[in-house]
């Protein structure tokens, strides 16, 4: 397995382009299953998770043509409605094929996605929503089997805000008979982007981006084209990198208004942020102050930025309290950061981070996508070399992270693990 090596101490300056959003592209690529023609998506990031979902779509009978960041998907002749364990276990977002398959074919058999490093991550709300739409659900031998002759619109309340749950049910409701109202729906930009794609296909959706979404089902959906929105978490990760190294970095091809909570916290910490159109300039020319953060659903501070922000707070002046309210086990990066010299104490869902004068490079182990990114960030400022092992976690969600970091002055390279 490859590893990434970082030599700390370089100040990051210059310009870096942000890629398309993984968490927008995944549901949007799957939405092609709802149509019987060729959908074209541009600005699709070149990531392991994207390659995994395209393999799954092909296994269902869709024809996929990938040309750089442009993906064409023809789902005219679907030949299967099963998502096998060996594909789903690699990428839990595969559960997103469940509802489109039931809506299009009347049947789906999808392996239950197991838990993952950051939590149990059940899919009960996906299944409850699909049942409310009239599907019969059986769970046997580690698989979910769902059937419905024609889904019927329903009033659905999500006990917990769920991003892919909202996306899954929205796709099913688009082809249901009648009106569906989703209450306590996720408001993330990625949900809004999916709604825009569905509307481009002819769906009738009101309220996407608010907590009440109304979908008036239609008979069929037609192919569409769409440009994937920028990745706000990749952007936030590079903003944290600039802040950590006292740098001056301009991000291009991003959407600043998707980053308000992250920008606000960085500004509170003393970072200067200037946005202009699709560019964001991040300048850190004074000491970083400690700031408290609690992760929340959008538009609050994103859980996917918690680990990255914790690294920044580890190098700040003072003490900060970081509360993780979305996932029950999203502090795995803490033990690795401690190995680099961070001073972090955990109590339940709360981490107390005391800023230290310096971090010191060491070999560390990546555990999940965003934890891995936080270890790269720590390596940027740790004295000496930091080696991040199991770097496949990073390749799932960051396109060419070392090339992009090198472009703005980082000393970072990939080594084949011996």
- Cα dihedral sign for 315, 394, 264, 282? positive
Sheet with 363-365: list strands edge to edge.
Answer: 363-365, 385-389, 3-7, 411-415
**Which listed residue (326, 365, 366, 408) binds ligand EPZ by CB under 6 A?**
326
**Which listed residue (21, 130, 163, 251) binds ligand EPZ by CB under 6 A?**
163
Alpha helices in 151-222 (DSSP H): 163-174, 189-200
What does each C-alpha distance from 72 to 27, 35, 48, 223 come to in angstroms?
A: 15, 13, 17, 10
Which one, 73 or 326, has the nearer CB to ligand EPZ?
326
Of residues 355-394, those binding ligand EPZ (CB under 6 A): 369-370
Interface with ligand EPZ includes 395 (CB under 6 A)? no
The full length of the chain comes to 418
Q: Which element (helix H / strand E) includes 321? A: strand 319-323
Over its C-alpha atoms, the chain yields an Rg (Å, rounded) of 21
What does each C-alpha distance from 363 to 3, 313, 375, 387, 408 come to in angstroms?
A: 10, 21, 10, 4, 23
The site that binds ligand EPZ (CB under 6 A) totals a number of residues, namely 23
Residue 160, CA atoms < 13 Å, CB-side half-sphere: 14
Which one, 124 or 225, has the nearer CB to ligand EPZ?
124
Map residues 118-137 to x or -, x wherever contact with ligand EPZ holds by CB under 6 A.
Answer: -x-xxxxxx-----------
CB of 190 to ligand EPZ, least distance (A): 6
CA 184/CA 297 separation, integer angstroms:
11
Of residues 188-247, those binding ligand EPZ (CB under 6 A): 190
Sheet with 38-42: list strands edge to edge.
Answer: 63-67, 70-74, 38-42, 225-227
Which one, 156 or 284, has the nearer CB to ligand EPZ?
156
CB of 186 to ligand EPZ, least distance (A): 6
Residue pair 117/129 in contact by the 8 Å Cβ criterion: no
Which one, 47 or 359, has the nearer CB to ligand EPZ?
47
**Which listed residue (4, 5, 25, 26) binds ligand EPZ by CB under 6 A?**
26
Helix, strand, coil percentages in the chain from 3-state DSSP, rounded to 5? 35, 30, 35
**Which listed residue (8, 230, 256, 397) binds ligand EPZ by CB under 6 A?**
397
Which one, 205 or 326, has the nearer CB to ligand EPZ?
326
**Which listed residue (327, 375, 393, 408) binds ligand EPZ by CB under 6 A?**
327
Interface with ligand EPZ includes 44 (CB under 6 A)? no
End-to-end CA distance of the chain: 8
DSSP string, 358-390: --B--EEE--SHHHHHHHHHHHHHSBSEEEEE-
Interface with ligand EPZ includes 304 (CB under 6 A)? yes
CB of 230 to ligand EPZ, least distance (A): 14
Which one, 161 or 288, has the nearer CB to ligand EPZ?
161
Pick the piece of the chain touching ligand EPZ (CB under 6 A) from 114-122, 130-138, 210-218, 253-261.
Answer: 114-122
Of residues 45-104, those binding ligand EPZ (CB under 6 A): 93
Residues forming the site for ligand EPZ (CB under 6 A):
23, 26, 93, 119, 121-126, 160, 162-165, 190, 303-304, 326-327, 369-370, 397
């Amino acid at each position: 397995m490859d590893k990434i090596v970082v030599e700390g101490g370089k100040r990051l300056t210059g310009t870096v382009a942000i890629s398309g959003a993984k968490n927008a592209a995944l549901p949007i690529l799957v939405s092609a299953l709802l149509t019987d023609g060729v959908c074209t998506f541009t600005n699709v990031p070149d990531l392991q998770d994207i390659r995994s979902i395209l393999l799954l779509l092909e296994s269902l009978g869709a024809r996929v043509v990938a040309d750089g960041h442009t993906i064409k998907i023809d789902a005219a002749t679907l030949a299967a409605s099963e998502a096998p364990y060996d594909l789903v276990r690699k990428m839990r977002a595969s559960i997103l094929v469940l509802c489109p398959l039931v809506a299009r074919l009347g049947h789906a058999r999808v392996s239950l996605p197991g838990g993952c490093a950051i939590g149990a991550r059940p899919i009960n709300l996906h299944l409850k929503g699909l049942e409310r739409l009239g599907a019969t659900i059986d769970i046997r031998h580690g698989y979910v089997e769902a059937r419905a002759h024609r889904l019927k619109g329903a009033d659905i309340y999500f006990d917990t805000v769920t991003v892919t749950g909202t996306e899954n049910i929205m796709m099913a409701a688009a082809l249901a008979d009648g009106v569906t109202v989703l209450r306590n729906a996720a408001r993330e930009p990625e949900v809004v982007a999916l709604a825009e794609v569905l509307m481009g296909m002819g769906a009738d959706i009101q309220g996407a981006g608010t907590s009440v979404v109304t979908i008036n089902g239609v008979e069929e959906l037609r192919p569409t084209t769409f440009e994937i929105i920028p990745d706000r978490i990749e952007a936030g990760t590079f903003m944290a990198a600039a802040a950590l190294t006292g740098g001056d970095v301009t991000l291009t091809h991003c959407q600043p208004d998707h980053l308000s909570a992250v920008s606000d916290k960085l500004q509170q910490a003393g970072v200067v942020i200037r946005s202009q159109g699709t560019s964001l300039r991040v300048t850190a020319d004074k000491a970083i102050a400690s700031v408290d953060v609690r992760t929340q659903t959008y538009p609050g501070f994103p859980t996917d930025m918690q680990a990255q922000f914790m690294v920044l707070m580890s190098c700040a002046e003072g003490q900060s309290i970081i509360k993780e309210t979305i996932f029950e086990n999203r502090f795995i990066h803490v033990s690795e950061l401690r190995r680099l010299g961070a001073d972090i104490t955990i109590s339940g869902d709360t981490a107390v981070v005391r800023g230290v004068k310096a971090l010191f490079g060491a070999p560390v182990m990546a555990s999940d996508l965003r934890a891995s990114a936080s270890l790269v960030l720590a390596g940027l400022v740790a004295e000496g070399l930091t080696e991040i092992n199991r770097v496949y976690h990073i390749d799932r969600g960051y396109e060419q992270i070392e090339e992009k970091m090198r472009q703005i002055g980082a000393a970072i390279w990939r080594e084949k693990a011996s």
